[in-house]
Amino acid sequence: MLPKKANPVKTYSIQNIKYMKLSILAFLLTFSGITAIFAQTNSAANKEAYTKMITERAAKIVTKLYLNDAKKTEKATVIVRDQYSNLNDIYAARDARVKEIKEKNKDNKVERDSALAKDGLIVERALNKLHKKYISKLSAQLTNEQVELVKNGMTYNVLPITYKAYQEEILTLTEDQKKQILSWLTEAREHAMDAESSDKKHAWFGKYKGRINNYLSAAGYDLKKEGIEWEKRRKAKAGVN
């Protein structure tokens, strides 16, 4: 039985090697170009989709104002849309800085925490400045009542819903107590308007509801008992209806 003939070893000339290198380089440059174009296109598509989403969100809020004025409706919608966009820009820039801070100080917790705290103050100042400009722009187009509706629209109407719930749960609230509850919920809403996500918007209200509950407990209310009695009333009302 004859042994199998070995495959000949292929040799390449210097010219062949140079040609192969140039071919590979050309391929890599072409691939890189395609990748860059794809990334740019994808980024543009994402931006377009995001703009469409926040425009629809803004329109939904403004529609409930029933302005009956097409130009004013459009102006108000653009103002709300731009606010969402500007907030997104602030948080996107923050995320980039936070990533850099963490990478730069990954082995130094003290420096990292200090830098993150400083950056948090930068974000807070930027949000406060943007918030004031936003309210000013809204007020130039809308009445105070309409501005309130926009604020509630941006925060899922948590303020009016929660304020009503407190009054229904505790029937003996004094006018001063109602005023304090409304004041804290209003403060919570101002923060929530600028929050970057639904969860963080609700978190602001959660923080202030904790303050309200402590305030009511200190005033002598048994919130657990009040809650039970309120539930009984709700069930009784539902049974009647």
d(CA 167, CA 135): 29
Residue 184 is encoded by which pair of tokens? Answer: 């804290």
10: left (phi over 0), alpha (psi -120 to 50) or beta: beta
pLDDT at position 43 is 80
Q: What is the pLDDT along the chain (241 residues), one digit of tens a residue?
A: 444 444 444 444 444 444 444 444 444 444 444 334 333 445 888 889 999 999 999 999 999 999 999 999 999 999 999 999 999 999 999 999 999 999 999 999 999 999 999 999 999 999 999 999 999 999 999 999 999 999 999 999 999 999 999 999 999 999 999 999 999 999 999 999 999 999 999 999 999 999 999 999 999 999 999 999 999 999 998 887 6
Q: What is the pTM of this model?
A: 0.80
CB 159 within 8 A of CB 148: no
SS (H, E, C) 52-100: HHHHHHHHHHHHCCCCCCHHHHHHHHHHHHHHHHHHHHHHHHHHHHHHH
**CA separation, residue 214 to residues 11, 181, 207, 228 (Å):** 84, 11, 11, 18
